[in-house]
Chain A
Amino acid sequence: MTQGTVTTDWSGLPALFRRMTGDEKHEWAATSTLPALWTLYDKVLDVSPDRVDDPDRDRFLLSKGHGPMAFYAVLAAKGFLDPSTLDDWTEFGSPLGQHPDRVLVPGAEIGSGSLGHGLALGVGQALGLRAQGRTRPRVFVLVGDGELDEGSNHEAIALAGRLGLDRLTVVAIDNGSASHGWPGGMATRFAVEGWDTVSVDGRDQEALYRAFTEEHPGRPRAVVAVIRSEGVE
């Protein structure tokens, strides 16, 4: 853990959210990705604002790109973004849009928004790091259960499983948003391709932390974070 300047903790996230949404209620608490994002940036990822180009940093790829308020709030809480940039987000000239652009957002590893691109990019990053002998960095890719509909994910899932990319972890947020569902659960789609899989309560930060930090030698890991009914983004 080599975090940079921590400006805010978990209790400060609602205020950061409000700077974007104006929401006085609890929209932030219903955001399905927030517990996973916070756990990663607060306790798991080896990243910091002064090392955004360090080749040995961990990578976090927000594949689905939708509902990026949680991502921006966490980046602001961890010092990647000045909180004032949240105030005029999505306006012309702001670096922050409804989908993140890695060229504009410090700490964003990919630009995303079109579903189904992040996982293959993450596989490429894991392969690129391995080819350069950088065995320490880990690559995390967050996908949604609706996003998993995109066939491109299944190309990447099969490939990562066969290649045994054990520095790769997928965070699969399952909030029941896929139109036709995933009978048997999302984890089965990864397991059949040789992934190590675990399903946890997506709001249980202790469980998420364990799932993100347990070893999975020789295999990529899929952490299915199940979010039930409190709300979706």
Chain B
Amino acid sequence: MTAADFQGKTALALKATDVTMREAFVETVSAAMDTDPRIAVVTADISAGNFGAARARHPSRVINVGIREQAMIGVAGGLALTGLRPVAHSYTPFLIERPFEQIKLDLGHQDAGAVLVSIGGSYDDPVWGRTHQAPGDVALIDTLPGWTIHVPGHQDEVRELLTAALATDDCVYLRLSTRRNARAYPTGAGFTTVRSGSRGVVVAVGPTLDAVLAATSTVDVTVLYAATVRPFDHAGLRAAVGANPNVVLVEPYLQGTSAHEVATALADTPHRLLALGVRRDSEVRAYGTAEQHDVVHGLDPAGLAESIARFMR
């Protein structure tokens, strides 16, 4: 598997001609490197070619380690310990799952920050099969203290979230996807109220928003949008719930990943929660398209509509 393989496949998976999240990521980081001498990029072959221009301008701060993901995270930790702001990047399972102990120890335990940027989402390109799917990524990072987790739903949100992340020393996970919504929403602190209703609250995370809006177009519910899930906007959810404690959580990764955050937010009130996301009960041994996998997980508009209607009845 080479970067070129991904490049071609990702381009094919995109329908529109506009900029992908990955392109927004590369552009934003490359531009930021020109003005911020702290920023360094570490890749493990995937997307290394996309940083060619940045590498030409900043050869000592664009480091491709080859297909060595443990070294990629370890190097990022070492860079941070010398005062740089490392950005490490790969396909989701190779960035988060394979070097997970390096993320735990070489970043968090060292008090060293980094921006980890993944592509591939949970199953952006199902033709690659299970090896290239990582719906457990957010749940894994969630086992570590102090991480900010962004799940943008639009390339313009990527630019804003990334620019803010580069300016800190924090541990930040930015989860990119070829799935996205038709428009961008504000990325500041807290959830965004996209629609107001009276029968309950649906929290749509990142690229699930458009499907949630389609599924609830005739349902009297509030829809909150979250491009940032850690920290979780407890106060925003609590305020939106008010006296109607029926909550639906729709996440594009492992089902129930943020259920404990909802429980924390609503600890002071009896409530009901329906957590929707990538199913946990079995591995989907099928290829095809991401849209077909949405149906399997009930994350397509029809599946969401059915689940939400049953829950809200």
Contacts and interface: CB of A to CB of B under 8 A. Distances in A.
Interface of A: 55, 101-103, 109-111, 114, 116-117, 119-132, 134, 151-152, 155-156, 158-159
B116 to A, nearest CB: 14
B265 interface: no
Contacts, number: 103
A128 to B, nearest CB: 3
Contact of B77 (A101, A124, A155): A124
B123 to A, nearest CB: 28
Contacts of A114: 101, 105
Contact of B79 (A128, A134, A151, A155): A128
Given A120-B106, A124-B74, A159-B75, 12 more contacts: A117-B74, A119-B74, A120-B73, A120-B77, A120-B102, A123-B75, A124-B76, A126-B78, A127-B75, A131-B60, A151-B70, A152-B71
Interface size range of chain B in the complex: 20 to 34
Contacts of A122: 78
A127 B65 CA distance: 12
Pairs A-B, 10 closest by C-beta atoms? A124-B78, A120-B74, A128-B82, A124-B75, A155-B71, A155-B68, A131-B60, A125-B78, A128-B79, A152-B70
B101 A155 contact: no
Contacts of A102: 110-111
Nearest to B40: A131
Contact of A127 (B37, B78, B106, B111): B78
Nearest to B101: A114
Contacts of A116: 70
A126 B70 CA distance: 17
B195 to A, nearest CB: 45
6 contacts: A110-B110, A123-B71, A124-B74, A127-B78, A127-B79, A152-B71
Interface in B62-94: 63, 65-66, 68, 70-71, 73-84, 86
